[in-house]
Amino acid sequence: MKILLLGYGKMGKTIEQIALDRGHEIAGRIDINNRADLETLRKDDVDVAIEFSAPEAAVDNIRDCLKRGWPVVSGTTGWLEHRLEIEALCRETQGGFFYASNYSIGVNLFFRLNKILARFMKGYPSYHVSMTEIHHTEKKDAPSGTAITLAEGIIDQLPDKTRWINDAEEQPDAVLIESLREGTVPGTHVVRYDSDVDTIEIKHVAYSRQGFALGALTAGEWLVGKQGIFGMEDLLGESI
């Protein structure tokens, strides 16, 4: 499989190494310093693009790939106000687009557990829910896309929660997300239900980028030859 890497930071390099170990070919490595090189690639040069760039670059990267007929796996967060536009373009070009806020298998199990716990907590209004997410200091967006997905899962289950807020005073109708940036932490997410008498907490801690990179590469392998808009539940099915 010929893979175009859009974004060649730490995640792009990790995906590259796993891809080469699995016998794939790197068709190109595009970042802010060589964006013009994208124009030199022909349609048949690329089987799939894997996009882990920056919020300000993601939309143009995805748009350009779909227009060229390349399916795209995107893991960049912080651009989702443009998601409907990208999905419309995917349908228009009859392309393939795969997005996840987090490609780790463990995190996607955590997403499911988070929804189940929120459903259980629906009948116990004495508990109030909040979240903390911790990432490395180079992460540009806050809250993380993973934290937003967790908050959306809670909102889907708790009728008194209609939105999330970040680093602000608690509001009765909102899920509070605290964002911390520390050292080289790959990612920690905590969902907490506090009452006057006790606390219930679930937590996911990532130890490295390997799990994210392997999941994104697996999504790329799965996406080749498909048309439509997909996510991790399509890839993993009922196993999560």
Average pLDDT over residues 123-140: 92
Q: Any binding-site annotation on 102? A: yes
Q: Any binding-site annotation on 77? A: yes
Backbone angles phi, psi at 129, to 5 degrees: -100, 145
Tokens of 65: 């790939």
Could you confirm whether 135 is annotated as catalytic?
yes
Average pLDDT over residues 218-224: 96
User: Tens digit of pLDDT for each residue in 166-175?
Assistant: 977 889 999 9
Tokens of 144: 């993380």
Residue with tokens 């899962």: 153
- What pTM value is reported for the model? 0.77
For residue 82, the model assigns a pLDDT of 96
Could you confirm whether 204 is annotated as catalytic?
no
Rounded to whole angstroms, what are the CA distances from 231 to 10, 162, 196, 218?
A: 23, 23, 38, 12
Write down the catalytic residue from 2, 13, 82, 139: 139
Write down the catalytic residue from 24, 135, 161, 189: 135
203 vs 214: CA distance, rounded Å:
21
Q: Any binding-site annotation on 136? A: yes
Domain 105-206: give its CATH code: 3.30.360.10
Tokens of 63: 């748009």
Local confidence band at 145 (pLDDT 50, 70, 90 cut-offs) = confident
195 vs 32: CA distance, rounded Å:
48
> Which DSSP helix (H) or strand (E) runs through 194?
strand 187-194
Backbone angles phi, psi at 20, to 5 degrees: -65, -40
Q: Is the pLDDT of residue 210 over 70?
A: yes
Q: Any binding-site annotation on 93? A: no
Show me where the domains of the chain are located. 2-99+210-239, 105-206
3-state secondary structure of 8: coil
Report yes or no: 131 and 189 within 8 Å, Cβ to Cβ.
yes
The architecture (CATH level 2) of 2-99+210-239 comes to: 3-Layer(aba) Sandwich (3.40)
Backbone angles phi, psi at 101, to 5 degrees: -75, -20
Q: Any binding-site annotation on 145? A: yes
Contacts of 59 (CB under 8 A, 6+ apart): 79, 82, 85, 86
Residue among 36, 83, 79 at smallest CA distance from 58: 79
